[in-house]
Amino acid sequence: MDFFTAQDHARRKTGRLVVLMVLAVLALIVVTTLAIAIALHLMGEQSATQTNLSAQGMWSALSIELVIGVAIAVLAVVVLGGLFKRSQLRRGGRVVAEALGGREINLNTRDADERRILNVVEEMAIASGTPVPSVYVLEEESINAFAAGYQTNDAVIGITRGTIRNLTRDELQGVVAHEFSHILHGDMRLNMRLISILHGILIIGLLGGTLLRSMRFRRVGGGKRDNSGAVVLALGAALMLIGYAGTFFGNLIKSAVSRQREYLADASAVQFTRNPKGIGNALVKIGSHSQGSQLQATQAAEFSHLFFGQGVRQGFSQMMATHPPIKDRIKRVMPDWNGRFEVTWPIQQAENDATEPEGNGERSEAEPRFGSGTATGTGAMAAVLTGASAQTAINTMGQPDQRHLNQARATLDALPERIKIAAHEPHAARALIYSLLLSQDKTMRKHQLKALHQVALPDVYRALMDYGPEMLRLDVQLRLPLIELALPALRSLSMEQAQHFRLCMERLIEADGKVSLLEWTLYQLVLNNISKQGSGPANLKINDLQRECQMLLTVLATAGQDDPVEISAALNAAESELPFSLRVTDDISDMRALSLAVERLRRLKPLQKPTLLQAMARCIEHSGRILPAEAELFRAMADILDCPMPPLLSDDA
């Protein structure tokens, strides 16, 4: 299924999750009511010489008040437990990775295995049009991985040491492509919600365990007629039983939600890499590995539905497994597999990209000062883009293929090595973003630098002066990939550093007294990916947002051209894709109003967004050819609208 259908399907599946949750809570209310009725009956029988456990006696302890009271208590515990877990997970995927004992990989690591996985993740991100996620390594020898987060801007990829040590590059690509499928198709967000919901169900069992542990400090049976200790013991055991019931229902819900999604993610990985043996052989290695895919982390069971492979030992029935049988998964991607888990374990990976980058990133004395010159990174990126290029990009959202992966590799190869290294370091990454905001006009650039010098950190400003000349010559097609590459470093900034970074960007933008479309787009793109940009539920239709569409498309039509005839032609082309008419707006200089319009457009229902994207595509290709600057502006705006757009390909590609 395409990106928007998958997003809509995941959104609707949340409703199914709520139904399963309600059924589980009702079952817990019934079991809890019976357990408390038994406890009350035992307490009422304390005066008797012999405890009466007859069904009639226990039934007499039931009442409407008891049922209502238990229902309210169970609902309160479940809801409060879920809200508590949700507050814990508010920082996104890094909370899950840290809870599992993960360590964020240093972006300039010298470890060959870690360098290889970072390269693979960066390629996949640029090929799919998503921000590059942070990567965490779990120091476990088993073979497993996961993707966690609510949005692409807080997503992380987690991977075990055994995975990056034992898999070849092709196999790593298959595993990472599988995880990117979960990110792109909305599974990741659904899985995070599932964690919060199930935590509330499991709280009751935790309470029972606490009650039982408290019995160690209490003497049971203080007198012949005092069986209160036994009652408390029975109540604790009952709550523990309820907890196991909650675990049962939780695993049942996980199984119902996640198993089919694993098959789809495997298929997406094959489509992405065009190499079924990549993910297939990775699964074979799991089957032949002494520890398989099982994790030793204490909280592995809580996050079991996130993993690439079965992360914890499954229960008594395959029905309760969060993942399909591994043999079935292998057969689906490699039908000719012989059924035997026979592999050759590499002693050491000999990958070209695993070696540490050459050079130390220092500026050479021959480095030119600020000024004009030949664009950096041209050649490999030169291509003729047409309307077919934009259409292909829209159609392959959420399901990129080998062509996009090849384009991502060409993009990374075209980026100067010194700039790539700088993008991985927080100080230098900020300097690179500042340099993208610098004007090509020498006088205005001098004014901008003077304004920035007053507020920027000295180290960052020095880095800007170092990398600025090279960045001013950077090919326009490399700017968006460079921003995506720098995002993990920018996300590592503290709240105070991020606020100061934002202030510096604003000073650069406001230095000339006006905000250009390029400046606005870059600013919004960075903020959208390093901070929470809540825009409300996605429940609006495109007919509800005619004014907002008008503003966005007019801005896009006037980007880089002043000819009224061309602007009108661009809007007429866009109008052919919309259910309403457009008109030329005189004043489009209010970028604050555009920001508010985009916030509203982000609330479009998933199946309504393709209409807007098609209109945007028609707007930039009305002349029959798309300029590189228009292509990157189109992709950047799509990213701001939460639509990860893969690179636009030439017709030859």
* CB crowding 547-574: b at 16 or more within 10 Å, else e: ebbbbbbbbbbbbeeeeeeebeebbebb
Spatial separation of the C-alpha atoms in residues 417 and 230, rounded to whole Å: 71
- The answer to whether 179 is a known catalytic residue is yes
Task: State the amino acid at position 409 in one-letter form.
Answer: R
Q: Of these residues, 114, 171, 179, 470, which one is catalytic? A: 179
Spatial separation of the C-alpha atoms in residues 88 and 611, rounded to whole Å: 37
For the sheet with 134-138, list strands across it. 103-104, 134-138, 156-160, 145-148
DSSP string, 45-89: TTTSSS----HHHHHHT--HHHHHHHHHHHHHHHHHHHHHHHHHT
Could you tell me which residues come within 8 angstroms of residue 256 by beta carbon, excluding any fewer than 6 positions away?
16, 20
| Residue ranges of E strands in 444-568 | none
- Label the pairing between strands 103-104 and 134-138: antiparallel
Three-state DSSP state, 553: helix
Dihedral pair phi/psi, residue 335, rounded to 5°: -60, -25
Six token digits for residue 375: 């664009």
- Number of residues in the chain: 653
Spatial separation of the C-alpha atoms in residues 158 and 156, rounded to whole Å: 6
User: Cα 619 vs. chain centroid, distance in angstroms?
Assistant: 30
Could you tell me which residues come within 8 angstroms of residue 468 by beta carbon, excluding any fewer than 6 positions away?
370, 431, 435, 438
Could you tell me which residues come within 8 angstroms of residue 3 by beta carbon, excluding any fewer than 6 positions away?
184, 185, 397, 398, 399, 643, 644
Q: Are 613 and 601 contacting, i.e. CB atoms less than 8 angstroms apart? A: no
Six token digits for residue 325: 């049988």
* CB crowding 228-246: b at 16 or more within 10 Å, else e: bebbbbbbbebbbbbbebb
Backbone Cα Rg of the chain: 29
Q: Are 419 and 413 contacting, i.e. CB atoms less than 8 angstroms apart? A: no
User: Cα 248 vs. chain centroid, distance in angstroms?
Assistant: 28
Spatial separation of the C-alpha atoms in residues 621 and 387, rounded to whole Å: 5
Three-state DSSP state, 489: helix
Catalytic residues, which ones? 179
